[in-house]
Structure 1
Amino acid sequence: MLTSIIFFNVERDKINTVAEQLADLKEMSEVFSVSGAYDLIAIVRVKQADDLSRLVTEQMAKIDGIVKTDTMLAFKAYSRHDLESMFSFD
């Protein structure tokens, strides 16, 4: 499994629409709207590098409003928290 973090600059009036379209892609684990230098950040999990290549160059390229992306590959996970239980409000 290959994990990557993709940072997005998006046209201001299309942030919500782009986020929803990204979240609909099966490779997207999470999509966050954020403050700072980027508008959105996505966590992507794919089986191999070719899958990531297809995601970026074919699927994401079709989404109108994405201005720029920066893709970072994760080499090793140092924390394996169960995020669902951490943020559960039972």
Structure 2
Amino acid sequence: MVEAYVLVTSAIGKVKEVAEKLQDLENVENVRVVTGPFDVVVLAKAKDLSTLTNTVVEGIRRIDGVVNTDTAIVVE
């Protein structure tokens, strides 16, 4: 199992909409709207790195209103 925190920056006025769409994605365990340099923090869990990568690239980054992502893979 591979886990990662995906830090999402959304377009202005789209934070709630983005957060709702993120919750519907496969391999997304938790979604939190936060303050600071990022708008949403996502905990993603997948069976392997390839599946996790696909979740970020083909899932999260394709959501309308997602401007940028930074992914921190859990190592310990």
TM-score normalised per structure 2: 0.93
- The Cα of 1:7 is off from its aligned counterpart by 0.3
- The Cα of 1:49 is off from its aligned counterpart by 0.6
Structure 2 spans left out of the alignment, 5+ residues:
none
Match of 2:26 in 1: 26
Q: Pairwise mapping of residues 51-62 of structure 1 onto structure 2 (< 5 A)?
A: 51-62=51-62
Q: Find the aligned partners of 1:42 and 1:61 in 2 and give their Cα distance.
A: 12
Q: What number of residue pairs does the alignment pair up?
A: 76
- Asked if 1 retains the 8 angstrom alpha-carbon contact of 2:61 and 2:68, the reply is no
Report the 3-state secondary structure (helix = DSSP H, G, I; strand = E; otherwise coil) of the residue aligned with 2:35. Answer: coil
Matched, 1:49 2:49: yes
TM-score normalised per structure 1: 0.80
- The Cα of 1:60 is off from its aligned counterpart by 1.9
Q: Find the aligned partners of 1:26 and 1:53 in 2 and give their Cα distance.
A: 12
- The Cα of 1:53 is off from its aligned counterpart by 1.4
Match of 1:71 in 2: 71
Moved over 2 A (4+): none
Identity %: 30
Report the 3-state secondary structure (helix = DSSP H, G, I; strand = E; otherwise coil) of the residue aligned with 1:12. Answer: coil
Q: Partner letter of residue 30 of structure 1? A: N
Report the 3-state secondary structure (helix = DSSP H, G, I; strand = E; otherwise coil) of the residue aligned with 1:13. Answer: coil
Q: Which has the higher strand share?
A: 2
Between 59-68 and 15-24, the greater mean CA deviation after superposition: 59-68
